[in-house]
């Protein structure tokens, strides 16, 4: 199978290597994490980002921590590490889901430390592998929704870099291309962190998929020009009623799609659905540093990390990192267990009740 870019590499029991997404696309630098603290810092600082990828990374962070030699009680050390990782980013539920799954292994293990450490590594590896498989199933379900020739708008990066290595929204696009469809992608640059220009444009270009970069503010113009046949985005957390949190600016795109009668699809693994959230109002929205709005940083062609400012010093700025798209604007939610449509309360409950396909 064709291999795509990947955000992480597990060196069993030794280290987790993370591709530094802050300085893509001009440099490919791998950051080495040897314990949970290293992984937590990397998640907080956006070395690795994207809901499934931070869940997988956190699971490996717990596994790494459990393999370190230490005199203290292993169970409590691992629990502390999990809580540190949990505190890094609040919105993507996959992070919390992965940590809860790792903690269930800890809870059910009464034996010796070496055996627990092995079990935790195996669990993290399983989470990683299952996510990749889920991406491919999302791709299969989603590809059927696209016509033989289509231009698709996406926002942020829900690609290989945000997952175990194929993507959710971009997984649908990849699967459609693999099925012989002719797909062109428009990528919103996705201010302020620029996941669209730095990551989506880069990984699609690397795969030879036709991609055109636009600024977020250009989307309305291209909708008016009837440029798009569909919108596909990822999600960080989906409530029981189908409301979906995703990168800031997604809601704006959904309103535009609705106004112009263009289908708006959300592609996400079942692990992104949070049954504890009745609606989008229950989803915590991360507020990041205003410095990410007043400044931009990235690597120049020289490979060095540069930061520039384009706002008056001291100006008030806000940075909610996600917004919630109401279910009423979502044409369908494409998961690894099938496609949910309105009424979402029923279709999501039915998907959650289905066991995972093997």
Q: How far is CA 152 from CA 11, 28, 93, 237, in A?
A: 36, 27, 26, 22
Alpha helices, DSSP H, located in 207-353: 219-224, 250-259, 291-294, 344-353
**321 touches ligand MRU by CB under 6 A:** yes
3-state secondary structure of 135: helix
Q: How many helices (H) and strands (E) does the chain have?
A: 12, 15
**139 touches ligand MRU by CB under 6 A:** no
Phi-psi region of 89 (alpha: psi -120 to 50; beta: other; left: phi over 0): beta
**127 touches ligand MRU by CB under 6 A:** no
Write down the least CB distance from residue 353 to ligand MRU, Å: 24
Any bridge partners for residue 306, and if so which? 298
Please provide the DSSP assignment of 165-215 as one string: SSBSHHHHHHHHHHTT-EEEEEEE--TTTTHIIIIIHHHHHHTT-EEEEE-
Residue 236 designated active-site: yes
Q: Pick the closer one to ligand MRU by CB: 116 or 169.
A: 169
**142 touches ligand MRU by CB under 6 A:** no
Residues in the chain, how many?
358
Write down the least CB distance from residue 156 to ligand MRU, Å: 4
Q: Of these residues, 20, 38, 236, 323, which one is catalytic?
A: 236
Task: Give CA–CA dist 138/140, Å, rounded.
Answer: 5
**299 touches ligand MRU by CB under 6 A:** no
Interface stretch with ligand MRU, choices 77-85, 228-236, 329-337, 346-354 (CB under 6 A): 228-236
Interface stretch with ligand MRU, choices 7-15, 101-109, 122-130, 229-237 (CB under 6 A): 229-237
3-state secondary structure of 250: helix
Write down the least CB distance from residue 238 to ligand MRU, Å: 11
Write down the least CB distance from residue 17 to ligand MRU, Å: 19
Spell out the residues 6+ positions from residue 358 whose beta carbon is closer than 8 angstroms to its own. none
Which member of 195, 241, 335, 347 binds ligand MRU (CB under 6 A)?
195
Q: Looking at residues 29 to 88 of the shown chain, list those that interact with ligand MRU (rule: CB under 6 A).
A: 49-52
Any bridge partners for residue 296, and if so which? 308
**274 touches ligand MRU by CB under 6 A:** no
**In which residue are the tokens 């627990």 written?**
116
Which member of 47, 74, 92, 231 binds ligand MRU (CB under 6 A)?
92
Write down the least CB distance from residue 269 to ligand MRU, Å: 8
**339 touches ligand MRU by CB under 6 A:** no
Task: Give CA–CA dist 30/16, Å, rounded.
Answer: 10
**164 touches ligand MRU by CB under 6 A:** no
Which member of 8, 102, 127, 158 binds ligand MRU (CB under 6 A)?
158
Enumerate binding residues for ligand MRU (CB under 6 A): 49-52, 92, 156, 158, 162-163, 168, 195, 234-236, 246-247, 321
Q: Which residues are catalytic?
A: 236
């Amino acid at each position: 199978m064709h291999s795509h870019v990947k955000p992480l590499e597990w060196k069993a029991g030794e280290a987790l290597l993370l591709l530094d997404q802050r300085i893509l696309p001009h440099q490919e630098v791998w950051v080495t994490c040897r314990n949970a603290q290293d992984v937590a810092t990397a998640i907080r600082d956006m070395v690795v980002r994207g809901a499934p990828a931070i869940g997988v990374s956190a699971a490996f962070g717990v596994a790494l921590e459990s393999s370190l030699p230490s005199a203290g009680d292993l169970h409590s050390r691992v629990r502390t590490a999990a809580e540190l990782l949990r505190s890094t980013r609040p919105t993507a539920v996959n992070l919390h889901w992965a940590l809860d799954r790792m903690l269930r292994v800890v809870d059910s293990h009464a034996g010796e430390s070496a055996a627990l450490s092995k079990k935790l590594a195996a669990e993290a590896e399983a989470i990683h592998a299952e996510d990749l498989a889920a991406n491919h199933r999302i791709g299969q379900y989603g590809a059927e929704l696209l016509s033989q020739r289509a231009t698709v708008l996406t926002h942020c990066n829900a690609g290989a870099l945000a997952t175990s290595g194929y993507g959710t929204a971009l997984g649908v696009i990849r699967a459609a291309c693999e099925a012989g469809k002719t797909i062109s992608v428009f990528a919103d640059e996705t201010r302020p962190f620029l996941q669209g220009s730095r990551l989506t444009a880069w990984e699609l270009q690397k795969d030879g998929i036709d991609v055109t970069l636009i600024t977020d503010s250009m989307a309305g113009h291209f909708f008016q020009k009837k440029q798009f046949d569909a919108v596909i985005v990822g999600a960080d957390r989906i409530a029981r009623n189908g409301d979906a949190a995703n990168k800031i600016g997604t809601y704006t795109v959904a309103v535009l799609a609705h106004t112009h009668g263009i289908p708006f699809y959300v592609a996400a693994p079942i692990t992104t659905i949070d049954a504890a959230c009745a609606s989008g109002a229950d989803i915590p929205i991360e507020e990041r540093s205003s410095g990410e709005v007043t400044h931009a940083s990235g690597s120049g062609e020289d490979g060095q990390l540069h930061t520039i400012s384009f706002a008056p010093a001291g100006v008030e700025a806000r940075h909610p990192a996600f917004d919630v798209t109401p279910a009423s604007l979502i044409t369908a939610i494409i998961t690894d267990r099938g496609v949910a449509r309105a009424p979402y309360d029923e279709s999501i409950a039915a998907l959650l009740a289905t066991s995972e396909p093997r």
